[in-house]
Amino acid sequence: MVDLVGKDAVLSDYAQKLAAPRGRSLTDDALRRLFANPAALGSLIVLLAVIAVAVIGPFFLHWTYDKIDWGAIKKPPDFAKQHYFGTDQNGRDMLARTLQGTQVSLLVGFVATAVSVVIGVVYGAIAGYFGGRIDAAMMRFVDVMYALPYILFVIILMVVFGRNFVLLFVGIGAIEWLTMARIVRGQTLSLKEREFVEAARAGGARPLTIIMRHIVPNLTGPVVIYATLTVPEIIITESFLSYLGLGVQEPLTSLGTLISDGAPVAEVMPWLLVAPAAILIAILLCLTFLGDGLRDALDPRDH
Q: What is the pLDDT of residues 72-87, one digit of tens each?
A: 888 888 888 888 898 9
For residues 266 and 20, give the distance between their C-alpha atoms in angstroms, rounded to a whole number: 64
The answer to the question of residue 10 being in a domain is: no
| Phi (first) and psi of residue 203, to 5 degrees | -80, 0
Distances (CA, A) of 295 to 5, 40, 144: 53, 10, 29
Q: Where are the alpha helices (DSSP H) in the chain?
A: 2-19, 26-35, 38-56, 94-130, 132-147, 150-161, 165-173, 177-191, 195-202, 207-210, 220-243, 255-262, 271-298
pLDDT at 127 over 50: yes
The answer to whether the CB of 149 falls within 8 A of the CB of 157 is no
The answer to the question of residue 12 being in a domain is: no
Range of 135's domain?
Answer: 25-302
Predicted confidence (pLDDT) per residue in 236-287, tens digit: 887 777 777 777 777 788 888 888 888 888 888 999 999 999 998 999 888 8
Percentage with pLDDT > 90 across the chain: 13
The answer to the question of residue 291 being in a domain is: yes
* pTM beyond 0.85: no
Q: What is the CA radius of gyration of the chain?
A: 26
pLDDT at residue 98, rounded to an integer:
93
Number of domains observed in the structure of the chain: 1
The answer to the question of residue 147 being in a domain is: yes
The answer to the question of residue 192 being in a domain is: yes
The answer to the question of residue 105 being in a domain is: yes
Return the C-alpha torsion angle 141, 145, 148, 151, nearest 10. 170
The answer to the question of residue 177 being in a domain is: yes
Nearest to 188 by CA among 126, 116, 114, 120: 126
For residues 183 and 191, give the distance between their C-alpha atoms in angstroms, rounded to a whole number: 12
The answer to the question of residue 269 being in a domain is: yes
Whichever domain contains 273, its CATH number is: 1.10.3720.10
Amino acid (one-letter) located at 100: Q
